[in-house]
Amino acid sequence: MTGLDALSGGFATPALDSARAFRAAMEALARPGTIREVAGAAPPGPLSPAAGVLILTLCDPSTPLHLAGGWDVPAVRDWVAFHAGAPLVAAERAAFAVGDWAALRPLGRFAQGTPDYPDRSATLIVEVPRLAADGARLTGPGIRGETWLSLPAPVEPLVANAARFPLGVDLFLTHGHRLAALPRSTRIG
C-alpha cells in the first residue's frame, strides 16, 4: 500500500456510515454474544472491514490506539492516521487496541479501570479467524437466559477478566464484516 492508498477505504458517507456503525457497536455491547453485520470501511490488511469500521467510529485524535503484533504495519498506521487521526501508543496508554488474540495478551497490560473509575479501561478489538453463534456459553447483563459465541482460545484470560468486574477490559470480536461484543460483565461458562 502506498501513501496514496491510505486515502481510500474510509466511509463514503461519514455521517450516515458512522451512525449506523455506532448503533451496531452499541447494540452488540448491550446484547453480548449477538453478531452484527457492519459495512462502509475497506481498510488495509490485516485489518478486517469490521475492525476498520470500529476504528473509524470509535477513534479520533483524542483516542489513543494500540496496534498489536502484525497489525502494527505502515499501511495500517497510515490509514489510521488519515481516517481517524488517533495517536498510536503503547498498550499501557491505549483506550483502544486492535490485533489478534495472541498479540493482545496478556490483558493485564491494558488499562483495567480503577474502583472509583471503572470506565477508565481499554477496549480491545480482537480479530478472530471465526465468529459464530456457537462455542462458549455466555450469561449476564443483556443476555436473556444464555447465548453462545465462538471465543478465541485459550478462554481462561476471558474468564479471569470477567471475574474482575467491575474492573477489566471490554472486547469486540471481529471477522470479515461481522462483529460481536464481550463486555467484562459477561460470564463465560
**145-156 residue pLDDT tens:** 999 999 999 999
Q: What CATH number does the domain containing 43 carry?
A: 3.40.50.11310
Q: What percent of the chain has pLDDT over 70?
A: 97
Mean pLDDT on 2-11: 67
Domain count, the chain: 1
Query: DSSP code of 11?
Result: -
Tens digits of residue pLDDT in 60-96 = 999 999 999 999 999 999 999 999 999 999 999 999 9
Region of poorest pLDDT, from 5-14, 22-31, 69-78:
5-14
Distance separating alpha carbons of residues 32 and 13, to the nearest angstrom: 28
Q: Which three cell numbers stand for residue 48?
A: 478486517
**pLDDT computed for residue 1 by the predictor:** 45
Range of the domain at 78: 5-188
Distance separating alpha carbons of residues 98 and 89, to the nearest angstrom: 12
Count of beta carbons in the 10 Å neighbourhood of residue 90: 10
Confidence of residue 5 (pLDDT cuts 50, 70, 90): low
Q: Confirm whether pTM is higher than 0.85.
A: yes
Confidence of residue 2 (pLDDT cuts 50, 70, 90): very low
Tens digits of residue pLDDT in 156-176 = 999 999 999 999 999 999 999
Amino acid residing at 55:
I
**pLDDT computed for residue 14 by the predictor:** 84
Residue where the block lists cell 482460545:
153
